[in-house]
């Protein structure tokens, strides 16, 4: 646990259930606030999102003071429930959360204070909101969902075009169930393209999940799964040894072995969540604050990985991409 002057909170995503029946009340006007933060896992992309959230929220609330209490589940689903219960028994004014399972767990425990979901995939499908524009309960924030069909359209432009797409994901994350189902449909829409799935039960399973795709896939696509993001280095090293290109939906493209990141600008998604949080902390009920939604996707390419693989990235993609 630590106290900081900025908010640490992270991406991640949906689980089934019914929308919160809480009143979605907003903290009374105060000179200072205390915000509990539940972070699902450690990953560079999550840290960057948190930093953007911290800076933006601090700027929007100035000169009021905000203290943040961070608790990190370290990618361990078994720790989430206990942390959620601890926060529920605290005197914090509000909560910031990243990782759908963590948002769901806290929403089940806390009905009387605001919860800010940062970079969540599907708040409505997870049952924590009635709609993205009018959540209706005590959860608001920002979303990061990108249709897998859009990602596939970009990946298939890179030569040689893959015939078998592999993916690793945690099925206990409801958002990933939604995302993978959409990926199945997107793959089925392309003649001659197939999907190979490797499911995991936790961060410790990421290396074996990645190895399970070697020899069975021509390229790997990782969705917005915080658990897999925490073990992305293992995916990259396994893929590099097998000379497989790896694409991540908004993850960290600088990880060795990762070819490219295709997704929203996560610092911007963090700022969108901060904007929603600022409205709530200055008097608007969370159920009346729409979730912030990013526009479009960005392409980030790892040049070292690109040069080591037998692939050709079209110039029209490279011209618009951030190449590192």
Span 179-227, pLDDT tens digits: 999 999 999 999 999 999 999 998 899 999 999 999 999 999 999 888 8
**In Å, how far from its chain's centre is CA 110?**
21
- CA 7 – CA 36 distance, rounded (Å): 9
Predicted local confidence at residue 27, as pLDDT = 66
Pairing of strands 194-199, 94-98: unpaired
What are the DSSP calls for 104-137, one per residue?
A: HHHHHH-SSS-EEEEEES-HHHHTS-S-SS---S
Predicted local confidence at residue 55, as pLDDT = 87
**Residue 144, CA distances (Å) to 139, 162, 200 in order:** 15, 26, 22
Yes or no: say if 135 and 129 are a contact pair by the CB < 8 Å rule.
yes
- CA 65 – CA 290 distance, rounded (Å): 24
**Digit-coded pLDDT (tens) for 127-168:** 999 999 999 999 999 998 888 998 999 999 999 999 999 999
Yes or no: say if 294 and 140 are a contact pair by the CB < 8 Å rule.
no
- Using omega within 30 degrees of 0 as the cis cutoff, is the peptide bond preceding 160 cis? yes
Model confidence at 1, in pLDDT bands (50, 70, 90)? very low
Q: For residues 22 and 47, which has the higher predicted lDDT (pLDDT)?
A: 47
Taking 60 as the threshold, does the pLDDT of residue 22 lie above it?
A: no
Q: For residues 228 and 266, which has the higher predicted lDDT (pLDDT)?
A: 228
- CA 217 – CA 164 distance, rounded (Å): 5
Yes or no: say if 193 and 138 are a contact pair by the CB < 8 Å rule.
no
Full set of structural domains in the chain with CATH: 2-144+265-288 (3.40.50.2300), 148-263+298-323 (3.40.50.2300)
């Amino acid at each position: 646990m630590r106290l900081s002057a900025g908010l640490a909170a992270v991406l991640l995503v949906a689980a089934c259930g019914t929308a919160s029946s809480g009143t979605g009340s907003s903290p009374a006007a105060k000179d200072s606030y205390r915000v509990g933060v539940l972070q699902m896992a450690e990953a560079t992309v999550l840290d960057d999102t948190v930093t953007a959230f911290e800076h933006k929220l601090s700027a929007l609330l100035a000169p009021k003071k905000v203290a943040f209490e961070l608790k990190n589940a370290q990618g361990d689903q078994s720790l989430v429930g206990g942390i959620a219960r601890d926060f529920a028994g605290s005197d914090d004014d509000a909560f910031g959360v990243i990782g759908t399972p963590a948002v769901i767990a806290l929403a089940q425990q806390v009905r009387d204070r605001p919860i800010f979901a940062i970079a969540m995939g599907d708040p409505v499908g997870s049952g924590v909101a009635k709609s993205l524009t009018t959540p209706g309960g005590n959860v608001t924030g920002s979303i990061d969902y990108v249709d897998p069909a859009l990602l596939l359209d970009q990946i298939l432009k890179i030569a040689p075009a893959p015939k078998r797409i592999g993916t690793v994901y945690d099925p206990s994350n409801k958002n990933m169930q939604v995302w993978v189902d959409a990926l199945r449909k997107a793959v089925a829409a392309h003649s001659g393209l197939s999907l190979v799935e490797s499911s995991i039960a936790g961060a410790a399973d990421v290396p074996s999940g990645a190895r399970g795709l070697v020899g069975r896939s021509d390229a790997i696509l990782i969705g917005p799964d915080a658990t897999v993001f925490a073990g992305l280095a293992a995916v990259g090293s396994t893929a590099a040894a097998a000379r497989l290109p790896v694409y991540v939906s908004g993850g960290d493209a600088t990880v060795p072995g990762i070819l490219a990141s295709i997704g929203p600008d996560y610092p911007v998604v963090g700022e969108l969540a901060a904007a929603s949080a600022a409205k709530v902390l200055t008097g608007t009920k969370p159920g009346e604050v729409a979730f912030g939604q990013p526009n479009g996707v960005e392409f980030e390419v790892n040049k070292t990985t690109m040069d080591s693989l037998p692939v050709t990235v079209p110039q029209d993609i490279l011209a618009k991409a951030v190449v590192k």
